[in-house]
Amino acid sequence: MNNKRLFNIFIIVFIDLLGFGLILPLLPFYADEFGATPFVVGLLTAIYAAAQLIGAPLLGRLSDRFGRRPILIISIFGTFLGFLLFGVAGPVGQKLSVLFGVPANQMILAILFISRALDGFTGGNISVAQAYITDVTTDETRAKGLGLVGAAFGLGFVFGPAMGGFLSSYGFAVPAFAAAALSAINLVMVMLWLPESLPKEERDIAALEKKPKVNLFALIDALRSPKVGPILSVSFFYGLAFALFSTMFSLFAQYRLDLDARQTGFVLAYVGVLIALVQGVGVGPISKRFSDRWIILTTTIVLTITLFIWAFTGSVVLLLIIMIPLAGTSGLLNTVLRSSLTKVVDKEEVGGILGISTSFESMTRVIAPSLGGFLLGSLGTWAPGVVAAVIMFGVIILVWVTIFNRSDDPEIAAAENSSG
């Protein structure tokens, strides 16, 4: 395993997520300055995931064809432009409103939508970063390598919101400019220090034998695959259950535990640290000791139980305790699912399949906020957790039938030998 390249990717993903975390918690307040209703704020949040749904498989497929490094450069530049546009939305919107005769607030909100869509589309580069990890690791070390990407995610979400909250005291546009500056640093780092990981001969194979399908038919083909389909299905339903937890957590903390924004931020930072520790430190030893299918089955069972307990948690102490297995098993399951995907496709398809996986995750983040909000508002604070647990119970059955008991599959047998 090439530790220098892994460290480079870790820093790139960390800075990318740090920039994302800088402005995410401030989005509703910034949009509210320009008259956005709660519904519009919800759309502004969802459009990022919707754009990523399209961008992730496209970027992944293009990286199979042209290499990881050039696609990372292009996508990080797009993220830089998205953050910059977000920061200048106010003054630029004012000028354009005069030019086109449109109310200023409407024009500013339109620019915010464009900036978030651009950032979401190019934010699909996480699939390219994961493909890079796949290129420089073996089957035995891949889970550990992908775990480092997950750790960078967790740390970015821990430090990003805290920095964003501090910088927002100087104006809501300031965190956006800081995020743009971080993206610019990221861009320079990739251009100067990150070598290409995908050999030219493999890019040529991708060009000749694998057409870069990036539409709905690519998703359908992947789901129909007897090896890829079950893993993607598990990823989607697990992602939906966990997104119900993550998107509803702030409202749960407010209405169930009477926590304010500052206290909720501390709890979320605690969760981020737990996930980062598991993915950065724990994944490697665990994946060496146990096979992928055993890890997937065990973590889905633990997640089902912990999500159900979370639904009825009535104290902060119990919440902090239950977050340990919930965050830990979630970080482990997410990493191992991605690692398993890379083992059942040809090398020239890795970027594309990871892009499709990222798209499925984005789809859950489009569905979960509206579903969770309806459940919480209509039934109570317990409802999102119970529904998430029910979904995970279905995932246990899906894993048992389609992954765990397929020991006759040579791919699973090979994974057993390499992991065990």
For 107-148, the pLDDT digits (tens) are: 999 999 999 899 888 876 777 888 888 888 877 777 777 777
109 part of a folded domain: yes
On whether both 333 and 283 belong to a single domain, the answer is yes
208 part of a folded domain: no
The whole domain housing 363 covers 215-420
**Residue at which a domain ends, from 163, 194, 225:** 194
On whether both 245 and 106 belong to a single domain, the answer is no
- pLDDT score recorded for residue 177: 93
Region 216-243: mean pLDDT is 79
Give the three-class secondary structure for 380: coil
Is the pLDDT at 419 greater than 90, yes or no?
no
**What band does 218 get if pLDDT is binned at 50, 70 and 90?**
low
DSSP state of 198: S
Do 406 and 292 touch, CB atoms closer than 8 A? no
Phi, psi of 237 (to 5 degrees): -70, -35
Mean model confidence pLDDT for the chain: 81
- pLDDT score recorded for residue 392: 95
pLDDT top residue among 104 and 18: 104
Do 398 and 223 touch, CB atoms closer than 8 A? no
**Residue at which a domain ends, from 162, 194, 226:** 194
- pLDDT score recorded for residue 341: 81
Q: Which residue matches tokens 């432009």?
A: 81
- pLDDT score recorded for residue 88: 93
On whether both 341 and 223 belong to a single domain, the answer is yes
On whether both 281 and 141 belong to a single domain, the answer is no
pTM, full prediction: 0.70
Give the three-class secondary structure for 315: coil
CA angle 193, 198, 200 (to 5 degrees): 115
Total Cβ atoms within 10 A of residue 81: 16
209 part of a folded domain: no
412 part of a folded domain: yes
On whether both 368 and 316 belong to a single domain, the answer is yes
C-alpha 26/C-alpha 32 separation (Å) is: 10
Q: In whole angstroms, what separates CA 363 from the centre of its chain?
A: 11
On whether both 374 and 282 belong to a single domain, the answer is yes
Which of 149, 150, 122 lies closest to 5 in space, CA to CA? 149
Is the pLDDT at 216 greater than 60, yes or no?
no
- pLDDT score recorded for residue 7: 78
C-alpha 48/C-alpha 12 separation (Å) is: 20
On whether both 235 and 324 belong to a single domain, the answer is yes
Tell me the CATH number at 374.
1.20.1250.20
362 part of a folded domain: yes
On whether both 98 and 48 belong to a single domain, the answer is yes
172 part of a folded domain: yes
Residues in the chain: 420
On whether both 227 and 172 belong to a single domain, the answer is no
DSSP state of 407: T
**Residue at which a domain ends, from 194, 228, 261:** 194
C-alpha 374/C-alpha 379 separation (Å) is: 8
Number of domains observed in the structure of the chain: 2
Do 330 and 303 touch, CB atoms closer than 8 A? yes
On whether both 39 and 125 belong to a single domain, the answer is yes
Residue 175's contacts (CB-CB under 8 Å, 6 or more residues apart) are 22, 23, 26, 163, 164, 167, 168
Which of 182, 187, 153, 154 lies closest to 167 in space, CA to CA? 182
- pLDDT score recorded for residue 153: 73
203 part of a folded domain: no
- pLDDT score recorded for residue 418: 47
Residue 208's contacts (CB-CB under 8 Å, 6 or more residues apart) are none
On whether both 187 and 274 belong to a single domain, the answer is no
Residue 381, token pair as written in the block: 């604070």
On whether both 117 and 190 belong to a single domain, the answer is yes
- Most confident of the ranges 11-20, 179-188, 277-286, 401-410: 179-188
- pLDDT score recorded for residue 412: 45
Query: Which long-range contacts link 169-176 to residues 24+ away (Cβ below 8 Å)?
Result: 172/26, 172/29, 172/30, 172/33, 173/30, 173/86, 173/87, 173/88, 173/89, 173/90, 174/87, 175/22, 175/23, 175/26, 176/22, 176/23, 176/83, 176/84, 176/86, 176/87
416 part of a folded domain: yes
